[in-house]
Chains A and B, each alone.
Chain A
Amino acid sequence: MSDKMMAADGRPLKASLNRALRRQKLRALALIAPLLLFIVITFVMPIADMLFRSVENEIVSETLPRTTIALQEWDESSATPPGEPVFAALYTDMALATEYKTHTRLGSRLNYEMTGISSLFRKSGRGVGKFDTDVYTKAFQDSNAAYADPAQWASWMADETVRGQLPMTADAYDAWAAMLISEEGDVPAEETPWDFVFTALYLEASAGATLPVDVDVSSVEPVSLMAQFEKIDEDWADPEVWRTIKIYSPRYTNGYFLNSVDLMKGADGIEERPENEQIYITLFVRTMIMSLSIMGMCVLLGYPIAWILANLPSRTANLLMILVLLPFWTSLLVRTSAWKVLLQQEGVINDILVWIGLVADDNRLQMINNQTGTIIAMTHILLPFMILPLYSVMKTIPPSYLRAAKSLGATDWTAFWRVYFPQSVPGIGAGCILVFILSIGYYITPELVGGTKGVFISNRIAYHISSSLNWGLAAALGTILLVIVMLLYWVYDKIVGIDNVKLGG
C-alpha cells in the first residue's frame, strides 16, 4: 500500500507540484525583490540598529578597558573610592582616550546617568598630561640612557621574556604604539614612550619585576595617582562617580530602559528616580490618553460624515470626498500653523467669542500650547484616516438593510443601531487602529501647538535624538512605544479580530 499520490511519471505528486510552482514562486520573488531590498536596507536595518542602541553600552569598556577590569575588585556599595591600582589603570586609559579624543564622548554618555561627569572627564583630559609622573621617566632615563632610546624600547617590547616580566608595561606600550601610529602618524621606534608607560614600568619595577636593564627605583619617591586625579577634580574621590562607572561598565545595559520608565540603577539594584526627574511614565500615560481622546473625537466627527458620503449620489459624494482629502494636499506645517492663528489668545476664535460677549476680554480662553490645542489640531489632521475606512465599509452596506429593518417595524434609530451600526464596526475598527497608531507616534503637531503640557513621548524622543544626543534613551523610548503599539494590536486582535478590520471592499 502506498500512501503517497504519484504523478503520471511515477514521481511523488507533491514533488511534481512543487516543481511546477517553483518558477511561479521565483518570478513572484523577483518582482518583489527591489522593494524588499529597498525596505530592508533603508528601513529595517536602520531601525534594527537604532533599537540595538537601546541596550548597547560598549563605550565604557572600550574607552576605559583597564579601569573597568581593575574596578571589578572594588565593591560598589563601599563608601570609599577604589585604590591606587584602579587610578593607575585610569591614568593609562585616560591618557590614551585623551589622544583618541573619546574621553568627552564617554563623559557625555556617563553624564546621562550622573550630572557632572561630563565636565569631570573634560577637565581630566586636559590635566592628565601634566601629572607629576615625569619623575619616573627622568629617573629611568637618568640611570640608564637605554631607557631614552626609542629603538631599544621597540626591541625590548618585541622580546617575549621582557614582555613576560613586564605585562603591564608591555600592554601600555602596545596601546601607546597603536595610538601613535593611528593618531599622530609617527613611528613608535623613533619616539620615546610617554610618561604613562614609564609609570607602568616603575610600578612593576617597584613590585619586584626584573627589568631589561637594571635600575634601582627604591630611591624614587612614588607619586600617588589618586592624589594627582584629585588635584584635577576632587570628584574623583567621590565613590558615587566610581559607582556610576562600574554600574555602566558592562557591554550591554538595561539602564536606558530603566530610565525610560523613571527608574535607575543604584548601588543596591533598581531604584526609583528622584521625584523631579520622573517624566517618562507621565508622558507615556499622557500620550495614551490623548491618543484615545483624538481617536474618540475622530469617530464622533467622522462617522456622520462617512455616512453622508456613503449615502449621497456618487457625483456629490466625489465632490465632498475631495473636500475630505483636501487637507492631505496642504502641508502639515501650514495646517498646524493655521490652527495656531485660529486658537491663540489673540486669535480668530477668541476674538469672535469676545466680540459676541461669551468671553471677557481679559479672560480669553487658553486653547493652544496645551492639551486642548494638540487634541483639536490632531483630530483635524487625522480625521481623513477615520473617514476613509469608514466610508469604504459603509459603501458596501446595501441600503436595503435599513429598509428591511424599517419594513419590519424598526424606528429609524433602532434600524440604525441594531442593523447598520454593527455592520459598520469593522470600519470603525480600522479607522481607530489607524488614527491611534498614527497619533501615538505623532511629533510635528504636538511640537508646534502642544506647549509643555501637550507634548507626546515622540517629542521627547526627538529631543534626545537631536538635542541631548542621548540616542540610547531615545532608542529605548522608541522600543517601548513600538512594543506598546504591537501589544495593543494584539489585544485588539483578541477582542475585535483583525479579520473584522476592513479598509475597503
Chain B
Amino acid sequence: MTTADGAFVAFDRVQKSYDGETLVVKDLNLSLPKGEFLTMLGPSGSGKTTCLMMLAGFETATHGDILLDGVSINNIPPHKRGIGMVFQNYALFPHMTVAENLSFPLEVRKFGKSEREEKIKRALDMVQMGSFAGRRPAQLSGGQQQRIALARALVFEPELVLMDEPLGALDKQLRETLQFEITNLAHQLGITTVYVTHDQTEALTMSDRVAVFDDGRIQQLAPPDELYEKPLNSFVAQFIGENNTLDGVVQEIKGDTCIVKLDSGDIIDAVPVNVSAVGERTKVSIRPERVEFKSERLQKDAHTLKAEVLEFIYMGDIFRTRLRVAGTDQFVIKTRNAPDQQRLKPGEMIEIGWLAEDCRALDA
C-alpha cells in the first residue's frame, strides 16, 4: 500500500525491532492530513511510544519509510525535523528559567533577541503563564510545568507536535482541564498533533481520530464515536469503555445480522463483524448502557435473556447493576439516574434485551 496523496505525516510499512528477534512494531501503515489530532492509544508495550519516537527521530525504523510532507525523514536527525515534542515528565531544563527554556529552541534557530522575547511572550500568554517567565521549573506545580512544556514545544511554531502521555502525572481534574486546553490550542493553531496515551477517556475526548495499538499493530483507526460504537474486534471492544462479552457459536448468518448460540444454550441476535462462517466461535460484545430491561422497551420480535440481579451500585449520575446472564456473573448494565429510574434489587429476576445492531459478534 502506498500512502494517500496529500498526507502530511505517513508511516509506510514501518517495522521496528530492538533485538533482531521480535518486532515491536509490525507493518505499520498510517497517514494523517494536516491539522488532524490523532491519538495513539494502547496498553503499555503495544508499540505506540516506539512509533512516536520513530517519528521524532529518536529511534530508527528497521524497515519502511516515515514521510513528513511527502519527504522521507528516515535519515534526517531529530534536530532538523522541526517537530515539537512534549514529554511525559515535561523534560523542562531544571537549570534554566521558564523564559530560558522557551528561548532555547529560538536561540538554536538563531532568532534575534527582540523576536525571541516577542515569541516567548506570545507562547506564555497562550498557555496563561505570562507572569511565570522568571521562575525555575522546580518552583512550578505539575500543571504549570506541563503548560510550560507545551509552550516550549509550540514556541518555534512547528507544524507537527508530538505528545508522549503528557498528562499522565497529573490529577484527574487538572487533566480534564488541560485536555480541553490542548485540544483547543491545537485546533486554534491548526497544527497537526500526534498524541500518545494509554487513557482511553483522554483519547476519546481529545482526538479527531484514534489509532488503537496492540501487539505492534493498529487494531482500529477511527473517529472516537465509531471506535466506541463499532469496534472491529474484541480487543478494541474490551479496551475502549466498559463492555459485556458473551461466548458462543455462530448458528446462522443472514446478510447483516446473525444468530449466535451462546454456550449456555440461549439464542441471541447480533451483527456479524468479523465472523464469516456458520459454526465459528465468537465473542459477542454489548455495551452496558445499551441493554434494556423494561418490558415496554424490549423489541417484540428479538431474542431476550433471563437475568438475576446480583448487585446494585449507586454511582451518582448512573446506576451500575451486575447480573447473572447466560452463565456469567460479570454482566453489567448501566442506567441513568433519572427521577423515574427503577432501582433493581439483588435477587430480582428480570428479562433483558437489546437492539440487534448494538450487539456485535467479534472474533473469539
9 A-B pairs with least C-beta separation: A408-B105, A404-B91, A407-B85, A400-B91, A406-B78, A422-B95, A409-B108, A406-B79, A410-B108
Which of A400, A409, A411, A412 is B87 in contact with, Cβ under 8 Å? A400
State which residues 73-126 of B face A: CB under 8 Å.
77-85, 87-89, 91-95, 104-105, 108-109
List of A residues within 8 angstroms of B82 by Cβ: 409
Please report the C-alpha to C-alpha distance between residue A423 and residue B92 in the assembled complex, in whole angstroms: 12
> Please, what's the 1-or-0 string for A417-457, where 1 marks a CB less than 8 Å from any CB in chain B?
01100110000000000000000000000000000000000
> A401, B78: Cβ atoms under 8 Å?
no
> A404 contacts B87, CB within 8 Å?
yes
Please give the distance in Å from A396's CB to the nearest CB on chain B. Answer: 11
Instruction: Evaluate contact between A400 and B104: CB separation under 8 angstroms.
Output: no
Assess whether B91 is in contact with A414, with CB atoms less than 8 Å apart: no
How far apart sit A305 and B156, CA to CA, in the bound complex (Å)? 35
Residue A403 interfacial (CB < 8 Å): yes
How far apart sit A450 and B100, CA to CA, in the bound complex (Å)?
Answer: 49
A405 within 8 A of B: yes
B56 is an interface residue with CB less than 8 A from chain A: yes
* Residue in A405, A409, A423 whose Cβ sees the most chain B Cβ within 10 Å: A409
Chain A residues with CB under 8 Å of B93's CB are 401, 404-405, 419, 423
Binding site for A on B (CB under 8 A): 56-58, 77-85, 87-89, 91-95, 104-105, 108-109, 152-153, 156, 162
Q: List 21 A-B contacts (CB under 8 A).
A: A400-B87, A401-B91, A401-B93, A403-B58, A403-B78, A403-B87, A405-B93, A405-B104, A406-B58, A406-B78, A407-B57, A407-B78, A407-B79, A408-B152, A408-B156, A409-B79, A410-B108, A411-B108, A414-B108, A418-B104, A422-B95
Residue A398 lies at the interface, judged by CB distance under 8 Å to chain B: yes
- A398 touching B91 in the complex, CB below 8 Å, given contacts A406-B78, A409-B79, A410-B79: yes
A409-B79, A410-B108 known; A404 and B85 CB under 8 Å?
yes
Interface residues, chain A, with chain B CB atoms under 8 Å away: 398, 400-401, 403-412, 414-415, 418-419, 422-423
| A403 touching B91, Cβ below 8 Å | yes
Q: Check B109–A407 contact: CB distance below 8 A.
A: no
- Chain B residue at minimum C-beta to C-beta distance from A401: B91
- How far is A419 from B91 in the complex, measured between Cα atoms in Å? 11
Checking A400, A406, A410, A411 against B88 with a beta-carbon cut-off of 8 angstroms, the contacting residue is A400
Q: Besides A407-B56, A407-B85, A410-B105, 15 other CB < 8 A contacts?
A: A400-B87, A400-B88, A401-B93, A403-B78, A404-B85, A404-B87, A405-B93, A407-B79, A407-B84, A407-B162, A409-B79, A411-B79, A411-B108, A419-B93, A423-B94
Residues of A within 8 A of B89 (CB): 398, 400
Bound complex: CA A403 to CA B52 (Å): 13
Bound-state Cα–Cα, A109 to B113, Å: 71
Q: Nearest chain B CB to A23's CB is how many angstroms away?
A: 37
Q: What's the nearest-Cβ distance from chain A to residue B111, in Å?
A: 11
A410 to B104, CA, bound (A): 8
User: Roughly how many angstroms separate A405 CA and B89 CA in the complex, as a whole number?
Assistant: 14
- Which residues of chain B are within 8 angstroms of A410 by Cβ–Cβ distance? 79, 104-105, 108
Measured CB to CB, the closest approach of chain B to A406, in angstroms, equals 4
Inter-chain contacts of B77 with A (CB < 8 A): 406
> What's the Cα separation between A407 and B56 when bound, in Å?
7
How far is it, in angstroms, between the C-alpha of A403 and the C-alpha of B87 when the chains are bound? 9
User: For the complex, what is the distance from the CA of A414 to the CA of B156, rounded to whole Å?
Assistant: 17
B79 touches A423 (CB 8 A): no
Chain A hits for B156, CB < 8 A: 408-409
State A409–B84 Cα separation when bound (angstroms).
9
Report the separation of the CA atoms of residues A4 and B58 in the bound assembly, to the nearest whole angstrom. Answer: 62
Report Cα–Cα, A304/B89, bound state, in Å. Answer: 26
Chain A residues near B56: list those with CB within 8 A.
403, 407
Closest to A410 in B: B108
Q: Which residue of B lies closest to A407 (CB)?
A: B85
Quote the shortest CB–CB distance from B25 to chain A (angstroms). 19
Closest A residue by C-beta to B109? A409
Cβ-defined partner of B104 (8 Å) among A398, A408, A412, A423: A408
CB neighbours of A422 from chain B (8 A): 95
- Checking B94, B95, B108 against A408 with a beta-carbon cut-off of 8 angstroms, the contacting residue is B108
Q: How far is the CA of A407 from the CA of B162 in the complex (A)?
A: 10
CA distance A415 to B104 in the complex (A): 10
Give the distance to chain A from B77, nearest Cβ to Cβ, in Å: 8
CA distance A321 to B153 in the complex (A): 37
Contacts of A419 in B (CB 8 A): 93, 104
A488→B301 CA distance, assembly (Å): 93
Contact assessment for A407 and B94 in the assembled complex, using a CB-CB cutoff below 8 Å: no
Cα separation A153 to B100 with both chains bound (whole Å): 96
In angstroms, Cα B83 to Cα A13, docked, is: 60
Q: Which residue of A lies closest to B84 (CB)?
A: A407
A415 CA to B83 CA, complexed, in Å: 16
A411 to B109, CA, bound (A): 11
Residues in chain A near residue B81, CB distance under 8 A = 407
Query: How far, in Å, is B103 (CB) from chain A's closest CB?
Result: 10
In the complex, which residue of chain A has the Cβ closest to the Cβ of B94? Answer: A423
Collect the chain A residues with CB atoms within 8 Å of residue B95's CB: 422-423
Identify which of A401, A404, A410 gathers the most chain B CB atoms within 10 Å of its CB. A404
Tell me which residues across on chain A come within 8 A of B84, comparing CB atoms: 407-408
Shortest Cβ distance from residue A419 to the other chain B in the assembled complex, whole angstroms: 5
Q: How far is the CB of B60 from chain A (nearest CB, A)?
A: 14
CA distance A400 to B94 in the complex (A): 12
Interchain CA distance A415-B56 in the complex, whole Å: 16
- Cβ of A403: which chain B residues have Cβ within 8 Å of it? 56, 58, 78, 85, 87, 91
Q: In the complex, what distance in Å separates the CA atom of A464 from the CA atom of B219?
A: 82
- The interface residues of chain A lying within 8 Å CB-to-CB of B105 are 408-410
Minimum Cβ distance to chain A for residue B53 (Å) = 8
A419-B104 Cα distance, complex, nearest whole Å: 10
Chain B residues with CB below 8 A from A415, complex form: 79
The CA of A103 and the CA of B253, in the complex, are separated in Å by 123
Q: Which of A408, A411, A418, A423 has the most CB of B within 10 A?
A: A408
- Chain A residues with CB under 8 Å of B57's CB are 406-407
- B87 contacts which chain A residues (CB < 8 A)? 400, 403-404
A403 vs B56: C-alpha distance in the bound complex, in angstroms? 9
Docked complex Cα distance between A152 and B70 (Å): 127
Complex alpha-carbon distance, A411 and B79, angstroms: 6
Report the Cα distance A418→B107, complex, angstroms: 11
Which residue on chain B has the smallest CB distance to residue A408?
B105
Cα–Cα, bound, A415→B89 (Å): 18
Give A6 to B88 CA distance when docked, in angstroms.
Answer: 49
CB distance from B239 to the nearest CB of A (A): 27
A400 to B162, CA, bound (A): 14
Set of chain B residues within 8 Å of A423, measured between Cβ atoms: 93-95
Shortest distance in angstroms between B150's beta carbon and chain A's nearest beta carbon? 13
B56, B105, B162: which has the most chain A beta carbons within 10 Å?
B105
Chain A nearest CB from B194 CB (Å) reads: 13
A423 to B56, CA, bound (A): 24
B153 contact set on A, CB distance < 8 A: 407-408
- Most chain A CB within 10 A, of B78, B82, B152, B162, is at B78
Cα distance, A400 to B152, chains bound together (Å): 14
Shortest Cβ gap from B145 to chain A (Å):
12
- Min CB gap A413→B, angstroms: 10
CA A398 – CA B88 in complex, angstroms? 12
Contacts of A401 in B (CB 8 A): 91, 93
| Least distance between A313 CB and chain B CB atoms (Å) | 11
Tell me the smallest distance from the CB of A475 to a CB of chain B, in Å: 44
A131 to B56, CA, bound (A): 102
- In the complex, which residue of chain B has the Cβ closest to the Cβ of A421? B95
**Least Cβ–Cβ distance between A402 and chain B, in angstroms:** 9
Write the chain B residue with the least CB distance to A411: B79
By a CB distance below 8 angstroms, the chain B residues around A411 are: 79, 108
In the complex, residue of chain A having the shortest beta-carbon distance to the beta carbon of B162? A407
